[in-house]
Amino acid sequence: MDDFNGGDPPVEKIGQENWDKFDFSPDPHTPRKASLLSAPGSLQTPQRSNSFPTVHRFTVHNGDSNTLLNGGEAPKRRVSGYSTTSTEKGKDRKHSNQSANGYGSPKYRKESTMTNDSLPTSSSTYGLVSSSENKDKRLIPKQGSESLQREQWGRKLEFLLSVIGFAVDLGNVWRFPYICFRNGGGAFLIPYFLMMAFGGIPLFYLELILGQYHRSGCISIWGKICPIFKGVGYAICLMAIYVSSYYNTVIGWAVYYLYSSFASELPWATCNHSWTDSRCLDKINAAAHNQTWTNNTQSPAQQFFDRHVLEVYKSTGLGDLGPPRWQIVLCLFVVYFILYFCLWKGVRSSGKVVWVTATFPYIVLFILLIRGAMLPGASIGIRYYLNPQWHLLAKPTVWLEAATQVFFSLGPGFGTLIALSSYNRFDNNCYRDAFITSVVNCLTSFMAGFVVFSVLGYMAHLLNKTDIEEVTTPGVGLLFVVYGQALTTFSGSVFFSIIFFLMIITLGLDSSFGGLEAVITGFSDEYPETIGKHREKFVLGLLSVSFLLALATTTQGGVYLMTLLEVYATGPAIMTVVLLESISVTWFYGINRLCEDVKAMLGFGPGIFWRVCWTVISPLFLSFMIVMSFIFTSDLQYGDYIFPSWSMGVGLAITLSSITIVPVYALYKFIFEPGSPQQRCFSLLRPEVGGQAQPRESLAMTSVPA
């Protein structure tokens, strides 16, 4: 290649093994169009001349991009003066700051943001995507180089099942029906669907776009969007670890209930057990004989949960957790054992598991729906569930509950949607996926309400109650206590108990897959050499750390710690993170650039509705949730136990431990970034090249002051 350099400045060589990244048409008179998956415009590859293209001041070694600076003017990680002019032995060479496509200017130099991820999976050539609005140009190289390879879902349906499985979790079964009933019944559906349309779905769709286009986890993706916000990715990972430390314990409870269901009679059906005390009374049997009971009386299902599964009565509060329950520790170990063998091989393993974990809950829900509709009193419960109370819509807390339910149901901000969509094909229709999964999530929550309240109506009928609120309870107690007690009255109670708690386990595992996959993908993409190549070991280490942290929630007072984590580990923290994500993507990365990304993938850009939602409505939606959550905060309580005042300080410390990562990382990057303060700000607010993640190979070329 030395013969082609002529008298020009030194040209860095590109290894022969990397030339398959640049695909030139063999016929110099017939340039062929790039197969850029319905990207707009006429995309053509440069005509081939009698020599290799000259690539100024750019080297590729094993898929890594090394940057050479022009006098130190640009930040060190940017590639300056990338040119793909096709010349013959130095004839008509252009200056290195002006590209062959005519976009150069004497006052500006071109910077090429190189990525390895933003690629169509089926392109055989490369093409230049040009935006008339923001002068953003992307060059999509040929597929075929090993560095362009990324694991993909085996089938499209595996991705949909994984996303649906993550979004549809335990909260859909117990939280939505209870909140809907408490906040106006059928009237609650108005704020719920409004929040879904203007807040939930746009944020859900946004994360699918980001993951699919940039093909990176929740950490390294920020280098391709806005590097100064990379702390958001680390904050997401920390919150995911917090969530796994208590969420998997709930699955462990379900495992214990499943084990206990394999008996001739369900153990929580009667009071004839060693763990019961004098307050235990079979209220259903007592009601049948016209007996009364006091407020201190507890059902056998309540005592089984409190005194046998949790042994919470042995703890005096949050400051006295006590020792772990070895039975729950064993069940928790079973949960983590299953998680490891579902996650260790990536989407190749988890993609197969979701065929069971994502579909089985729907089979059970339909069975329970049919069974519940046949129960006496079911219509009473359904009527309470849907009866609209229009006056409650004037209460701001109802709108806050609707926004919170939508947000935590769809799950933006947890990094899972970015991670799962990063394994999609470049041309996958994520627009359609966002609608499918959102609608399925809504319908599942709505259907779960019929399943739960048909049984609650049945329980009210058995207990001779006219008010459904007297037989229901908030939180997971609705599943393990109220529904557990109802199961004891079914004909074939053992069978229904087994399938019910299998459903709870599969619902929980799906969501746990997603949360942990966000951490695994995030760190694997950010540190490909040290973690990405040793995924199995990293998964083992991550799950071991999560298991050790979760041991605290298996103690006798562990339910108090779980309540604290559920409120403070996510809550305002995750909402703040998503607010920063929305602002950084639409305001710093740019709404026009984002729309061009969508157009490159799908062949059409987002309409005005999506633009307005992403830039204005979604940030207002999140800001409303954050402010209202602080205004209407209340003292924590579990049963009769009221949390001490110092617990709020502990909760705020947990919240700040994740949020503060964002400004701390931004300050760290600003201090150690080379260049003047102005150059640092400019550099950290624009997509970067390389970093710990794989080097960029799609060229987002923008004009930058020299």
Would you call 239 helix, strand, or coil by DSSP? Answer: helix
User: Strands (DSSP E) along 68-151, which ranges?
Assistant: 79-80, 108-115, 127-130, 137-140
Q: Which tokens is 382 given?
A: 């359904």
Beta bridge partners of 127: 140
Q: What is the pLDDT of residues 365-384, one digit of tens each?
A: 999 999 999 989 898 888 88
What mean pLDDT comes out for the span 399-408?
Answer: 85
More confident residue, 631 or 661: 661
Pick the closest to residue 575 from 442, 437, 406, 419 (CA basis): 406
pLDDT tens digit sequence for 540-597: 999 999 999 999 999 999 999 999 998 888 888 888 988 999 999 998 999 999 999 9
Averaged pLDDT, 165-191: 85
Query: What is the pLDDT at residue 39?
Result: 33
Closest to 164 in 3D by CA, of 342, 450, 357, 343? 357
Strand segments (E) across 343-426: none
pLDDT value, residue 363: 93
pLDDT band for position 16 (50/70/90)? very low
pLDDT at 199: 87
pTM, full prediction: 0.77
Greater model confidence, 637 or 31: 637
Rounded CA gap, 227 and 584, in Å? Answer: 10
User: Which of 376, 378, 356 lies closest to 451, judged by CA?
Assistant: 378
Q: Which residue matches tokens 């890594």?
A: 64
* Helix locations, 170-315, DSSP H: 170-182, 189-195, 201-214, 231-261, 283-288, 300-303
CA distance 447 to 177: 9
Confidence of residue 699 (pLDDT cuts 50, 70, 90): very low
pLDDT at 149 (0 to 100): 65
- Compute the distance between CA of residue 401 and CA of residue 550 in angstroms, rounded to an integer: 28
Name beta bridge partners: 416: none
DSSP-based three-state secondary structure for 520: helix
Q: Determine the distance from the C-alpha atom of residue 699 to the mean position of all C-alpha atoms in its chain, rounded to a whole number.
A: 28
Q: What confidence category does residue 433 fall into, taking pLDDT thresholds of 50, 70 and 90?
A: very high
Burial class (CB in 10 A: 0-12, 13-18, 19+), 360: middle
Looking at per-residue confidence, does 554 or 98 come out higher? 554
Q: Is the pLDDT of residue 112 over 60?
A: no
**Contact criterion met (CB below 8 Å) for 4 and 13:** no
Assign residue 699 a region (left: φ > 0; alpha: ψ between -120 and 50; beta: otherwise).
Answer: beta
Q: Bin 141: left if φ > 0, else alpha if -120 < ψ < 50, else beta.
A: beta
> According to the model, what pLDDT value does residue 142 have?
36
Per-residue pLDDT band at 155 (split at 50, 70, 90): confident
Give the closest residue to 207 by CA, choosing from 166, 173, 238, 153: 166
Mapped onto helix, strand or coil, the DSSP state of residue 620 is helix
Percentage above 90 pLDDT, the chain: 36
Residue 254 CA to residue 338 CA, distance in Å, equals 14
299 to 282, 315, 613: CA distances (angstroms): 6, 21, 49
Confidence grade of residue 466 (pLDDT, cut at 50, 70, 90)? confident
Residue 697 reports pLDDT greater than 60: no
Q: Of 131-135, 318-322, 545-549, where does mean pLDDT reach its minimum?
A: 131-135
How does residue 685 score in pLDDT terms, banded at 50, 70 and 90? confident
Check: CB of residue 507 under 8 Å from CB of residue 168: yes
Residue 522: pLDDT band with limits 50, 70, 90: very high
Task: Return phi, psi of residue 673, to 5°.
Answer: -75, 130
| Buried b / exposed e along 400-418 (16+ C-beta atoms within 10 A) | bbbbbbbbbbbbbbbbbbb
Question: What's the rounded mean pLDDT across residues 326-343?
Answer: 94
pLDDT band at 297 (very low <50, low <70, confident <90, very high): confident
Find out whether 151 and 347 touch, Cβ atoms under 8 Å.
yes
Residue 7: exposed, middle, or buried by beta-carbon count in 10 A (0-12, 13-18, 19+)?
exposed
More confident residue, 249 or 175: 249
Q: What is the mean pLDDT of residues 503-524?
A: 91
Cα–Cα distance, 589 to 584 (Å, whole number): 6
Q: What are phi and psi of 301, to 5 degrees?
A: -65, -40
Contacts with 268 (C-beta within 8 Å, 6 or more apart), sequence order: 260, 300, 301, 303, 304, 305, 484, 485, 488
- The DSSP secondary structure of 24-76, one letter per residue, reads --S-TTS--B---SS-SS--BPPPP-SSPPP-TTEEEETTEEEE--STT-S-T
Tokens matching residue 426: 């470049």
